Structure 1
Amino acid sequence: MAATLILLRHGQSVYNKENIFTGWTDIELSDQGRQEAIKAAAELKRLKLYPDVCYTSWLKRAIHTAQIALLEMVWEHIDCIKSWKLNERHYGAWQQRNKDVVKQEIGEEAFLSVRRGYSTPPPPLDENDPRAAKFDPKYRDLDPALLPKSESLKDTHARVKEYYRDVLIPELAKGKTVLVSAHGNSLRALVMEIEHLSTDAVVKLEIPTGKPLVYRYDTGMTAIKKVKVN
C-alpha cells in the first residue's frame, strides 16, 4: 500500500509577524497565519490529499493550523494526536525577545551560530524563570528532566527523530496518509531524517509557513517521491 506524509508548518504566528523568538511560548496565529492555513487546505484538496490521521505539537499555533485546514477540507472526523515531541525548538533565554535586539547585543557571528547552526543552543532559561516549561500546566505530567531549558537544532532532531521512528513510521507502514502540523525547526528535523540531509544541508533548509511538503513512501518506508505543492 502506498503511504503519504504531509508536513505543514503552522501559519504565521503573532510572534513571527513581530520578529520575536517564540520557541515553546504558546502564541496564537496572526490573521495572515489563519489565511495560510486556509490556502494549505485548498492545496491539499486540489491534490486530493485527505489524511487518515493528524499529528500536532502541544502548541496552539500548530493545533489551530491543523484545525483550520481540516475544517476547510470538511475533514474534521479524523483523530488528531498531540505530542510535545513535535514542539518547536526551545529558544531558552531568547524566547519572547526581539531577534534584531538579540543580534545587536551579542553580534552577528554568535547570533548565527545559534540561529543557523546545528549544535549550539541559546543561553538556557534560569531554573526559576517564569517562562520555564515546568511552570506551564500543560507539562505537569511530564518528567521535569525531559523539559528543556534551551535546545540546539541537534537536540530538537533527537526528539523528533525518535517520534518519527516510533510513531509516524508505524502509521505510514499501514499505508496511511499522515498529516503533521508542526513548526519550522521540528519540521526541519523531520526533513533531515526523511531526506538523510547532512548537518550542513539542514541548517540552510527553510520551511515556509502554511505550505505543505508532501512525501510518497514505498513499502520499505523510504520516501521515494516529493510531490510539488504550489
Structure 2
Amino acid sequence: MRSLKRHERRALMRSLRDKQAKNSSDEMQNWTQSRKQPRPLPDNHELLAKEWRESAESLGLHIGEQQMQHLLRGGSLYVDGSIIAPQGFEIVRKPDTRPDSRITQLWQRLSRNHGVSSTEIRHNPVASYLEQLGTSDPEAAARLASILQQDQNTMKTPVTVLSDMLRAIRDAEHAQRISETTERARRKADLLRGGLTSGNKKQTETGLTNPVNEQKTRSDI
C-alpha cells in the first residue's frame, strides 16, 4: 500500500468497498428470498395434523386448515395472550411474553378493572385526553378544545398543529397542577387556622392570660 501512489490507493480502496457492498447486498437478497419461500411440509404431516388436532381439542381449541398449515411449516399461533405451538405429537399452550403481548394484556386489565377504553386512547388520544381533562378541569379542557378548533380552521400543517397541541396540553396540565397546589395550600391554611382557634379557645376557658396584657394591667393600677 505504501508503494502505491495516492490516486492508486484511492482506486483500490474504492474497489474493495464496492465489492464488499455488493457481497452484502447479494447476501441480503438471498436471505430475503429464502425467507419468502415457504418451508416444506414434513413427510409425516398428515399424521402430525391428526395428532395435533386431537391435542388441540383437548385444550378446547379448534385449529383450521390454514392454521394447521402454518404449524406444520414451523409456525406458532397467538391466542388470548398465549402461544399455541406443537411439541412432538402434542399441542401445548405457553404464556406469551412478547412486549406487544404484555402491552395488550395491560390494556385488557385497564379496561376490565377501570373501564378504560384502549381503542379510543390508541386511535383518538386527543379526544380521550380532552374527556379526562374535562372531568378535572373544565376550563383547561375548554381552552384546549378552542385551540384545536382554531388550528383546524386555519389549515395549519400537521407539524404545527401537533406542536401547538402539545404546548396546549402542557399549559393545561400546568394550570391543573397550580390549581391542585393552591387547593392543598388552602386546606392546610384552614387546618392551621382551625388549630389556632381551638387553642385560643382552650386558653380562654382555663383562665390563662397573656403576660404582656397582665403587666400592662398592673402598671395601670
Normalised by the size of structure 2, how large is the TM-score?
0.20
Q: Name the structure with the higher strand share.
A: 1
Normalised by the size of structure 1, how large is the TM-score?
0.19
Q: Name the structure with the higher helix share.
A: 2
Q: Which structure exhibits the higher relative contact order, with contacts defined as CA atoms closer than 8 Å and separated by 6 or more residues?
A: 1
For the pair shown, which has the larger CA radius of gyration, 1 or 2? 2
